[in-house]
Amino acid sequence: MKIVVVDDEKEIADLVELYLNNEGYQVFKFYNGIEAMKCIESQSIDLAILDIMLPDINGLTMCQKIREKFQFPIIMLTAKETEIDKITGLTMGADDYVTKPFRPLELMARVKAQLRRYKTFTHQKSNMITFKALSIDKDNHQCLLNNQLLSLTPTEFSILWLLCENKGKVITVDQMFQELWGEKYYTNSSSSIMVHIRHLREKMHDSAENPEYIQTVWGVGYKIG
């Protein structure tokens, strides 16, 4: 699992990174908010640990920006102990709050608890998939990108759902025909999938040359993530 750690106190950031690595997590460590936000936008993050006091943008602002697009758990770190700071953080979308100085093992327990809750929730919500700024809801047949509703045809929606459901895996054109139409791929319809993919990319403002979402695996098929 991928965890972002942001703290301008190098010793604390390094210590948190060490403990997380020992637990087997992949850590993206930053000493400022701007670089961390770039990482969050480009990676499939599972949890973020944010210090409130940062040299560029504060952790509360980061939390607010993250919540505009992503639902992964956020744990706030701060030297402040006042109740209003905790309330502000939770109001802006934080899931938990740890006050400095803290025991690393306590933080690890909080991390595990949040990830456990998030995984359980995600499993229960199996008909909704979120990836980066994309959210697709199978039950309501809706797709949101950057909180904007995409107007997709049933076929476009089905293709996008199939790709998201198999995130990280290549889906061949043959598999798409089999899954979506219940028949094997045939040559006369070879351009059909390509047209649907092109329309999807146009609606998502995605690029075939430098894709953020739908990637072409030449000679094989397509994948997302």
pLDDT values of the chain reduced to their tens digit, one per residue, 225 residues: 899 999 999 999 999 999 999 999 999 999 999 999 999 999 989 999 999 989 899 899 999 999 888 888 999 998 766 666 667 767 778 888 888 889 999 999 989 988 887 776 665 556 889 898 999 998 888 999 998 999 888 788 989 999 999 998 999 988 888 887 766 655 445 567 888 899 899 999 999 899 999 999 998 899 998
What whole-number distance in Å separates Cα of residue 49 and Cα of residue 55? Answer: 16
If one looks up domain 2-124 in CATH, what number appears?
3.40.50.2300
Q: Which of 64, 172, 157 is nearest to 50 (CA)?
A: 64
Q: What is the pLDDT of residue 124?
A: 55
Give the domain ranges of the chain. Answer: 2-124, 128-224
Q: Do domains 2-124 and 128-224 have the same CATH topology?
A: no
What whole-number distance in Å separates Cα of residue 225 and Cα of residue 111? Answer: 24
First to last CA, the chain: 15
| CATH domain 128-224 topology | Arc Repressor Mutant, subunit A (1.10.10)
Q: What is the pLDDT of residue 118?
A: 77
Q: What is the pLDDT of residue 188?
A: 44
Task: Specify the residue for token string 């995984």.
Answer: 119
161: Cβ contacts below 8 Å, ≥ 6 apart: 129, 136, 138
Q: Which of 74, 44, 46 is nearest to 59 (CA)?
A: 74
